[in-house]
Amino acid sequence: MNTAVATATEVLEIRLLGGFSVTVGGHRVPDAVWSRKRAAALIKLLAVEPSHRLHREQVMEALWPELDPMAADNNLRFTLFAARKRLAGAGSRPNQFITRAGESLSLGPAEALTIDIDRFERAATAAWTVDDVMLTRAALDLYAGELLPEDPYEDWAASRRAALRAAHLSLLRRLAELQFGEGAAAAAIAALERLVAVEPTDEAAQTRLMHVLALTGQRQRALARYEHLVAALAREVGAEPEAATRRLRDDIRDGRYPPPPASPAAPVIQRGAKTASTEIAATVGLSLGSPGVLPTPTDALIGREREVAEVGQLLTGARLVTLTGPGGVGKTRLALALAREAAATAPAGVIFVDLTPLRDPNLVLPAIASAIGVRDEPEERLLRSLTMMLGRQRRLLVIDNFEQVVAAASVVAGLLAACPGLRMLVTSRVRLRLRGEREYPVGPLRVPDLASRRRGDRDLGNVTSSPAAMLFVERAHAANSAFALTAENVADVAAICRGLDGLPLALELAAAWAKLLPPAAMLDRLERGRLALTGGSRDAPERQQTIRATIAWSHDLLADQERLLFRRLAVFVGGWTIPAAEAVAGHGDRELDVLLGLRELVDQSLVVGLGNRGGETRYTMLETIREFALDRLQASGEGGTLRAAHATYLLTLAEAAAPWLEREEQVTWYERLEIEHANVRAAIAWFQACDDTESVLRFGIALWLFWFNFRAEEGLRWLADALADGPHADPLLRAAALHGAGNLARAVDDPVRGEVFHREELALRRAVGDETGIGKTLLPLGVEAFEQEDYARAETLLTESAGRLRASGDLWALAIAVECLGGLAFARGDLDGANAQLTEALRIGRRVGDRSGIGETLARLGALAMAAGDVSTATSCYEEGLSIRRELGAPSDIAVGLRELGMLAIEDGDFDRAETLLGEALALEERASSPALRCSLPLAVGRLARVRGDLKRAAAHYAAALDQVGQVRSYRHQYVAEALDEIAAFAAVTGDRVPAARLWGAASAERDRVGLWHQHGPQLERLLRTTRATMGEAAFAAAWEAGRNMARDAALAIAKELTGSAGAEVNLPTRTM
């Protein structure tokens, strides 16, 4: 992968909506540069592809379908050169944005790539998540026009163009619904007029517009809208409006609509409303049980509002729409809902054809004929009879389960060509690959988000807003009328939905167990693989009565090589990249074409593309599908071999990442390692099961710095277990592992254990004469001494470490040593010395590119500037530091950065900004396990509440901080002193001046015990002086001295008494926090 981090001047921006343009680093590539159209077409093709990555054969097939492979390959090479040259002319580096890896071409890296259709689709997804006019408008604003209007006849753009257009129009319809619901009828009319201006033959939209116009007293405009519809239908499709629309025109013209106010008006604009619903059944014209009948579901469709809107919009302009997706995702159920929605615009009827029983493609045409009511005849006569019967009728044909007879796609093409009024909605696990086909992938239902899991899924509203949870609860209640979602079972329900990937069939089968099992028991069995997902409805097809049968149906349609690849890919946990698949699934098998096989598995909906993550395209299997594939892998006898190959690949990746974690590229690698961490866990577990302790140690050595920032507790468990299992490992290998374990122990605030690890490490390095390593080992020992506030020992160790590291040229570790020496000088009150050391540490850190180290050094420089009263410099340091911490993504570090800026805002008197900053920090603090943060952050919020006069809120936060201060193991004297200072200030404000003076004295003694500099800050210093003056010098001095002689526990007991009961409930106003 390309590990270079893009700078602001190296971003590639591609616009495809409303016309093609390319910008590199803010400089637009002139249109004239793209005179060689195929160079532009290559970039367009990769940009239009959702993953922005294509196999070279896909590119050649799209751009040069008429050429033989050799000629097409030559054209591709020349076109690739030309495209790169044009980007380079605008300022990009050679091969920077269009990369070739093996047989694939891709645009990237992701962090340096901005494509307008990606932004629009993300915004559209957000707009469908909640009912919000502003979000919907924001998404619509990103749609600048049709996709690549200059390329109207390119097949590779047609399907995506139609999908984007449908998404845009469905958002316009949604905007109108939301606005009308809020009483903004004029805005709703404007949105509907925008819609019909683009799609004048959309009869449903036109009739909705007529309704709204009539309801708002604009009868003539409503009637004029009908005339527009008549003209559009005659011009575009040679048809007239349906009967229900004509009756609506008559009712408006004759004054019968809208009805008089005394009569309850029928809802007009609402999600899921059906136009002329009473006419639909008659339009279908078939009785239950007759061939071709549109089945009537007995339950509601849940969580598919967006899909219904977008596919419905597709059907207004496309004649063949294929719903694709894995088995059990709900394609048939969605198709039935769409068919009923579309029936109003299919006056000749809706016909349903179920191909489930068929395996012979030759039987597809007779099945369609039977459903329509044409008697069986020889194929040529049958096609002629069908064509004559259908003619130009506006009819919708719904064909279900096409995947096993996909060779009969030519039948569909023939019927569409011969019958201009015919439209088809097809469900299939693979697309038909016909011209004019518009594919719509149907994904699983949205599950409760990960943020809710981190909060323990305590918020019932958050979980029930998830369509997957809504479906589960609905079906569970149907199985057991006593079932309800409660605070006690909500977390289990959320976990079940996530464990089943939001797959509707799996959720329904799991929910059926509500008759016997509570959600906790279901979850337990599900996690242990003992919850049988069987027992579907008896009236469902046999393949849909168990999850395994559903997946087996797709599996049996695969070729032998595709089955081989399918089961091998199951070894990955949480997804994989193409290079990973080639290295692991293609391990030792030259005949297996992984890339082409992967393409087929994606087409068969057994593998899902995740798009570009971490700079590379990723793929995964839904967990229910992966479990099936794992069983096949185990049965094949290849399980052990594949797991070993998988573990070896991940270890190689981890060791390749290690050196980059100390450099500027660390952000990219942190992201990639986080994405791969489920695979890393599986690899380590495999090595553990094989008693391969050396490989586990190597993993720990490579990844400890990543774990330090993101997963310290987990990483420490892995490493500590391996060190216990391998006491006789190679000395240098063990020393390196001990180094990582010691740092991880420090990260989880266990300095005693960390020192034990580092002392053994130091002994090993000295025993083998590793002089360079000794300098690196002394560094964490010095840091631990500093954190334990043994300043003399810390100075000795850090000074020796810095000297050795400077001599060895290890600049990354040297920057940390010098930064800690600067922090030590600051703690002792040597501001000039601290500034010199920290400035040098920042210079070294910027030279190395260690973003994490730079962030830490900037935080210390910000504190130093605050102490010197330089608010401007403090703000600059803190803001840059926070920006870096956000970039790195560790929640606890971001929370610390927000706290620093919040405290600065308090000192500066900007209390509203402080509320915002500290509120965000509190939200992140829930995801952090640091006692130090859980102490310091409530102290900051308490100070803010105190200076704003909200003493009750201040007391609650101070009490929360005091609950945590005893758990802090690093910088303990500093945290105790800060807590006592804050409670003293609180006491002074509430009039308890004697206890306030005593606590200030106790804080002073706490600092003196370790030689910590006395620093209060301007705001606290003013309050102290005021209290002293009010009490009188003698009384204040006596109380101060009494506090200095007080034991720490006694001082903390007074502080707790002053703030009320320890652990008081914190109840923050929603507005501020």
Residue-wise DSSP of 113-175:
EEEHHHHHHHHHHHHHHS--HHHHHHHHHT--SSB-TT-TT-HHHHHHHHHHHHHHHHHHHHH
Structure tokens at 425: 């909605």
Amino acid at site 78:
F
Query: 589 vs 484, which has greater pLDDT?
Result: 484
Mode of pairing for the β-strands spanning 104-107 and 320-324: unpaired
Mode of pairing for the β-strands spanning 320-324 and 437-441: parallel
Q: Which tens digit of pLDDT belongs to each residue from 117-150?
A: 999 998 998 888 888 888 899 899 999 999 999 9
Looking at residue 390, its pLDDT comes to 82
Cα–Cα distance for residue pair 74/79, rounded to 1 Å? 9
Cα–Cα distance for residue pair 598/558, rounded to 1 Å? 12
Each residue of 392-418: b (16+ CB within 10 Å) or e?
eebbbbbbbbbbbbbebbebbbebbee
Q: Which tens digit of pLDDT belongs to each residue from 433-465?
A: 898 899 999 999 999 875 444 444 455 667 778
| Contact predicate 431/439, CB 8 Å | yes
Taking Cα atoms as reference points, which of 430, 436, 399, 433 lies closest to residue 416? 436
347 preceded by cis ω (within 30°)? no
Tokens 């959702």, residue located: 50
Residue 1047 is given by DSSP the state: -
Mode of pairing for the β-strands spanning 98-101 and 104-107: antiparallel
Measured in residues, the chain has a length of 1073
Looking at residue 535, its pLDDT comes to 55
Cα–Cα distance for residue pair 53/107, rounded to 1 Å? 7
State the angle between helix axes of 1048-1058 and 993-1008 in degrees (0 to 180), rounded to the nearest 10: 140
Cα–Cα distance for residue pair 636/839, rounded to 1 Å? 61
| Contact predicate 1022/836, CB 8 Å | no
Residue 909 is given by DSSP the state: T
| Contact predicate 510/533, CB 8 Å | yes
Mode of pairing for the β-strands spanning 27-28 and 21-24: antiparallel
CATH code, 284-436: 3.40.50.300
Residues 6+ apart with CB under 8 A from 78: none
- Specify which residues 353 forms β-bridges with: 399
State phi, psi for 497 to the nearest 5 degrees: -60, -40
Residues 6+ apart with CB under 8 A from 410: none
Cα–Cα distance for residue pair 893/1031, rounded to 1 Å? 41
Rounded alpha-carbon distances, angstroms, from residue 24 to 7, 89, 505, 683, 845: 11, 10, 46, 40, 29
**Alpha carbons within 13 A on the beta-carbon side of 862:** 25
Least confident of 46-50, 102-106, 874-878: 102-106
Taking Cα atoms as reference points, which of 343, 204, 353 lies closest to residue 280? 343
Looking at residue 240, its pLDDT comes to 87
3-state secondary structure of 397: strand
Residue 20 is given by DSSP the state: -
Taking Cα atoms as reference points, which of 808, 807, 760 lies closest to residue 780? 760
Looking at residue 1066, its pLDDT comes to 38
Looking at residue 1031, its pLDDT comes to 93
Cα-based angle 737, 739, 742 (whole degrees, multiple of 5): 110
Structure tokens at 904: 């600065």
| Contact predicate 522/531, CB 8 Å | yes
| Contact predicate 850/812, CB 8 Å | yes
Q: Identify which of 31-45, 262-276, 692-706, 718-732 has the greatest average pLDDT.
A: 692-706
Q: Which tens digit of pLDDT belongs to each residue from 680-719?
A: 999 999 999 999 999 999 999 999 999 998 889 999 999 9
Q: Is 335 exposed, middle or buried (0-12, 13-18, 19+ CB in 10 A)?
A: buried
Complete edge-to-edge strand list for the sheet that includes strand 437-441: 350-354, 395-400, 422-428, 320-324, 437-441
Cα–Cα distance for residue pair 799/785, rounded to 1 Å? 13
State phi, psi for 236 to the nearest 5 degrees: -90, -40
Structure tokens at 65: 């379908």
pLDDT band for position 615 (50/70/90)? low
Cα–Cα distance for residue pair 817/798, rounded to 1 Å? 6
Structure tokens at 475: 């079906």
Cα–Cα distance for residue pair 523/460, rounded to 1 Å? 18
Looking at residue 539, its pLDDT comes to 52
pLDDT at 914 over 90: yes
Q: From the CB of residue 992, how many other CB atoms can be counted at a distance below 10 Å?
A: 18
Cα–Cα distance for residue pair 649/581, rounded to 1 Å? 10
Looking at residue 714, its pLDDT comes to 92
Residue 260 is given by DSSP the state: P
Give percent of the chain above pLDDT 90: 51
| Contact predicate 1055/999, CB 8 Å | yes
Q: Spell out the SS3 assignment of 466-525.
A: CHHHHHHHHHHHHHCCCCCCCCCCHHHHHHHHHHCCCCHHHHHHHHHHHHCCCHHHHHHH
Structure tokens at 78: 């020349």
Tokens 């000795």, residue located: 796
Structure tokens at 206: 């036109």
- Range 188-200 average pLDDT: 91
Structure tokens at 107: 């645009």
| Contact predicate 392/238, CB 8 Å | yes
Looking at residue 86, its pLDDT comes to 85
Q: Is 376 exposed, middle or buried (0-12, 13-18, 19+ CB in 10 A)?
A: exposed
Cα–Cα distance for residue pair 631/570, rounded to 1 Å? 9
Cα-based angle 212, 218, 222 (whole degrees, multiple of 5): 65
- Specify which residues 351 forms β-bridges with: 397
3-state secondary structure of 14: strand
3-state secondary structure of 1058: helix
Class level of CATH domain 8-119 = mainly alpha
Looking at residue 764, its pLDDT comes to 94
Q: From the CB of residue 378, how many other CB atoms can be counted at a distance below 10 Å?
A: 8
Q: Which tens digit of pLDDT belongs to each residue from 2-18?
A: 333 333 347 889 999 99
How far out from the chain centre does Cα 365 lie? 44
Residue 6 is given by DSSP the state: P
Q: Identify which of 507-511, 689-693, 920-924 has the greatest average pLDDT.
A: 689-693
Looking at residue 1, its pLDDT comes to 35
Q: Which tens digit of pLDDT belongs to each residue from 814-861?
A: 999 999 999 999 999 999 999 999 999 999 999 998 988 999 999 999
Cα–Cα distance for residue pair 609/599, rounded to 1 Å? 10
Rounded alpha-carbon distances, angstroms, from residue 1005 to 833, 972, 981, 1015, 1045: 24, 13, 12, 13, 8
Tokens 């999600």, residue located: 271
| Contact predicate 931/919, CB 8 Å | no
Q: Which tens digit of pLDDT belongs to each residue from 419-435?
A: 888 999 999 998 998 98
- Range 13-27 average pLDDT: 90
Q: Where are the beta strands (DSSP E) in 832-889?
A: none
444 preceded by cis ω (within 30°)? no
Q: From the CB of residue 125, how many other CB atoms can be counted at a distance below 10 Å?
A: 13
Rounded alpha-carbon distances, angstroms, from residue 515 to 19, 518, 519: 57, 8, 11
Cα–Cα distance for residue pair 105/520, rounded to 1 Å? 47
- Specify which residues 1043 forms β-bridges with: none
pLDDT at 928 over 80: no
CATH architecture of the region 121-128+153-262+270-275: Alpha Horseshoe (1.25)
